[in-house]
Structure 1
Amino acid sequence: NYYLYGIDDKFLDVMSMKLVAGKNFSNNPPSNDHRILINEEASRLLGFRSPEEAIGQKVSLDTGNDDEYSVVIGVIRNYHQQSLKEAQIPMIHWFSQDVSNLFAIRLNTADMQSAIDKISARWQSGFSGHVFDYYFMNEMFNKQYAGDLRFGKILNLFAGFTLLITILGLLGLATYNASRRTREIGIRKVLGASSAGIIRLLSRDFLRLVFIAILIAVPLCWYVANAWLQGFTYRINISWWVFAATGSLVALLAMLTISIQGLKTAIANPVRSLRSE
């Protein structure tokens, strides 16, 4: 199965499409009879080993006339006619100058509204009685990913809240742990323990739990991310360094949070804490 579209000789330039083999349609319409352009995917499905091999080959377009063939004169680099969630579409283009209800126009101007007004005026002069409607191709394609963009924003929002709650929870636990061990810390300081040693003492157990949580979370995150990416025919591979960098950042934030409370406890006057005990 393939998609068949009629285009003219200006279509490739307007759409910034590249030929990987052969040539474009001529601006002399009669010379384009029974000539076609195909994309790389169509070339592959037709059994050609390379785009160059497809040039000059005859292809039947199943028009009902078994004796009618079209000659491949060019192969276009694959382009995405639909969302990246869809597989690459095999495309075949024949030359057509028939009147269409859809025109592709490339604009190169900063005053977009003025250009649209001029196009609208030309449309009304040539197609009076028909409503002029337009859309920008980049906006049309972006709409296909609106749901994914919303999902990404919501995910970032929840991730931010989760990180904030985690930091506040760690800070609260560190404060409680320090207050519970006030006498121990005071004795250690009187006996010559350094501030760095006190911080390590208070941070060790918490950081161990943080690293265990990271080891559990990384495989789960990898699984969920890959399951989501399965919805795309063309998708990226998530590298290991993404999880390593994220885990390191979380560990660093946890370390800073716990160390701040540990430092406050370490520099406190031990005499005061022992007197209260």
Structure 2
Amino acid sequence: LMRSPEVENITFSGQLVCNFFSGTHFIDPETQETLTTLRFEFADSCYVNTLGLNIVQGGNIPTRLGGDPFPALVNKRFLEVLRWEGNPVGRIYKCKGLFDVVITGVLDDFIVGSIFTPQTPVVIVGLGGWNSFYMSIRLHEMSPESFTRLENRLRELLLDQDIVLTTYRDKLHESYRDTERFRNSVVVAAVFMLLITLMGLVGYVSDEIRRRSKEIAIRKVNGATATDVLKLLLRNIIIIGLPAVMIGLAGTYLAGDKWLENFPEKISLNVFIFVLGGLALLAVIGFCVVLRSWYVANENPVKSIKSE
């Protein structure tokens, strides 16, 4: 399988024969106090390279697994919870009631599951003897053709096995499914709120026109054009609308920046995007005002004066 041109690296990870669960209590070896939940991963030495993890201190777990205590990698979060200072490589952590591990290296923190999952200390143990395992494959290039060739190759090698391939992109998308639903709900709610706001704006403009109809008629008699009338109404709306839009954009920027803190990979908030959004909203407001005022601005002023 490694000789296949589309395959870059392969790693195995799994569970112990004793059906050991991936999460257990993290206990301070000195005080015996339960600190948090500890996550175990059982894998081979290719795990780090295949998943693109970064070793910041020490080295990888050995290729030939075995020994007591078992070699293991830990993340920075592990050291922070235990308050270990200095070089942790070579130190032994006693997993109460299970086994002991000797730390061979420290990994940079990485996201397990999704950012909305509580991130716990991680221990990657170089330990074989699994009764079930997972094969993780990194491809040189992710494409439908390479994916199909890989699936066919696995079916050739594992004739009696059910082959189920899942891409990292699909797993990532699934982990953020609730976030996507929330995003879609916010978009729908924003559209409805905009429509309700525009309906209120049209009603406000209608009241202004009705209230100032005589003033508009007198201005037109004295030489004001339709453009002058539209400018008059637009100026009054902009005096209210511009501060409201600016306050709304500031709140949106702060809320968006706070929301993006939940994601490890994110875009940078460009102020230019918010400026364009504000200008577009003001343009929609102006269009609604002009559309509603156009008839009155071009109406014969005599009609309004006669009704007095």
- CA distances 1:153-176 after superposition (whole Å, capped 9, x unpaired): 122123113323432443354356
Pick one of 157, 169, 187 that aligns with 1:156. Answer: 187
Q: CA distance change for structure 1 residues 71 and 147 in 2, over 3 Å: closer, same or farther?
A: closer
Partner of 2:45 in structure 1?
Answer: 9
Aligned residues: 264
Match of 2:124 in 1: 93
Cα distance in 1 for partners of 2:263, 2:81 equals 18
Distance in 2 (CA, whole Å) between partners of 1:142 and 1:221 is 25
Letter in 2 for 1:105: I
**Which residue matches 2:105?**
74
1:36 alignment partner in structure 2 = 72
CA distance in 2, matches of 1:32, 1:21: 22
Residue pairs, 1:255-270, within 5 angstroms: 255-262=286-293, 265-266=296-297, 268=298, 270=300
**1:120 aligns with one of 148, 152, 155:** 155
Would you say the 8 A contact 2:206–2:292 is kept in 1?
yes
87, 92, 99: which one pairs with 1:59? 92
How many Å separate the matches in 1 of 2:215 and 2:241? Answer: 24
Cα drift, residue 179 of structure 1: 5.6
Query: Aligned residues: percent identity?
Result: 18
Give how far 1:149 is off.
Answer: 1.0
Query: Which secondary structure state, in structure 2, belongs to the residue aligned with residue 114 of structure 1?
Result: helix
- Structure 2's unaligned 5+ residue stretches are 1-25, 27-37
Which has the larger strand fraction? 2
Amino acid corresponding to residue 102 of structure 1 in structure 2: Y
Helix, strand or coil at the partner of 2:111: coil
Tell me if 1:103 matches 2:139.
no
CA-based RMSD: 4.3
**Displacement after TM superposition at 1:80 (Å):** 1.3
Taking a change above 3 Å as real, the CA distance of residues 48 and 182 of structure 1, as seen in their structure-2 partners, is same
Distance apart, 1:7 and its partner CA:
1.2
Q: What secondary structure is seen at the aligned counterpart in 2 of 1:87?
A: coil
Unaligned ranges ≥5, structure 1: none
CA distance in 1, matches of 2:306, 2:181: 54
Q: CA deviation at 1:15?
A: 0.8
> Does the residue aligned with 1:21 lie in a helix, a strand or coil?
strand
Instruction: Tell me the distance in 2 between the aligned counterparts of 1:63 and 1:173.
Output: 71
Distance 1:185 1:118 in 2: 80
The residue matched to 1:73 in structure 2 has which SS? Answer: strand
Contact 1:26 1:32 in 2 (8 A): no
Secondary structure at the residue paired with 1:140? helix
Find the residue that maps to 2:105 and give its secondary structure. Answer: strand
2:228 counterpart of 1:193: no
CA distance in 2, matches of 1:269, 1:217: 36
- CA distance in 1: counterparts of 2:191 and 2:250, whole angstroms: 20
Aligned to 2:12: none
